[in-house]
Amino acid sequence: MAINEAITQMMKKDSSVFVLGQGVKSPWYVGNTCKDLIKKFGEKRVIDTPISENAITGVGVGAAICGARPIVIHPRMDFMLYAADPIINQAANWSYMFGGKSSCPVVIWGIINRGAEQGAQHSQALHGLFSHIPGLKVVMPSTPYDAKGLMISAIKDNNPVIFIDDRWLYNDKEIVPKEIYSLPIGKGIVRKEGKDMTVVAISYLVKEALIAISDLEKRNIFPEVIDLRTAKPLDKEIIIESVKKTGRLVICDVGWKTGGLSAEISRIIVENIPGFLKSPVKTVALADIPAPTSPTLEKSYYPAKSAIVDKVMEALK
């Protein structure tokens, strides 16, 4: 409910904030994250739309250009690809094309639906694709506290922000502060200090990394865990400083390995501090195949704590 609280508080504070997307009336369609919003603010500010991702997003981008602060919801991130034109060709380029004199403060909120037999067309984490585009910011919280703070920052931001949520994090019952607060976009956080290894993770793999660290500490191995919070802009400094200290790096990405976040982080290290590495960079990421539907195959496809432990041990060797 942290995101619901963030949106509620910002809609009360700023009349230009409104929500539109598929299923905002439904208590389950977007994981209860929009529960009761339509009761609080009415159908003019919480708009349950037809199924037309391109049109919905185009409306949001147009409204943002005209001075509103829309939040466009895509309950399955996969279908944001239908909205590639308004996101990539319009929103991302708008401020640049007008020399910064016009802005497009739209939040495009995509939800990843991995697992639960969703299959190849309903399970994709597309942050790598959107991080490639100049003009877009890409946010991926791993805790309710961060989700609220980063959503508020995204709504306030004058640039288009892709806010990526993961249903696998919806069971986290952390209580967040009632007051309005924001977290800086582009700043990571050290979740666990350590000395033997840097583990950089994002989204649900942050939690898996912390579980893996508990196992590793029993073997007298003490990795440092960094939660990126944001895929773009990346917090280069926090990664570089940690690798300088530990000399080893394991990257945990919820997307595919080829051309993804792990490749970008590896580039940052190789370009800036290659001499500090005591062993090759290791990566935990999805195999370069579409998501399976079979529950048995899903268990092998999606990385978890065991994969992180294995990569840490490989790097130490």
Catalytic residue set: 122
Are the C-beta atoms of residues 101 and 243 closer than 8 Å to each other?
no
Structure-block tokens of residue 205: 């793999």
Are the C-beta atoms of residues 107 and 278 closer than 8 Å to each other?
no
Q: What CA–CA distance (Å, rounded) separates 146 from 141?
A: 6
| Chain length of the chain | 317
> Looking at residue 25, what DSSP letter applies?
T
Classify residue 65 as left (phi > 0), alpha (psi -120 to 50) or beta: alpha
The one-letter amino acid code at 9 reads Q
Classify residue 31 as left (phi > 0), alpha (psi -120 to 50) or beta: left
Q: What CA–CA distance (Å, rounded) separates 311 from 308?
A: 5
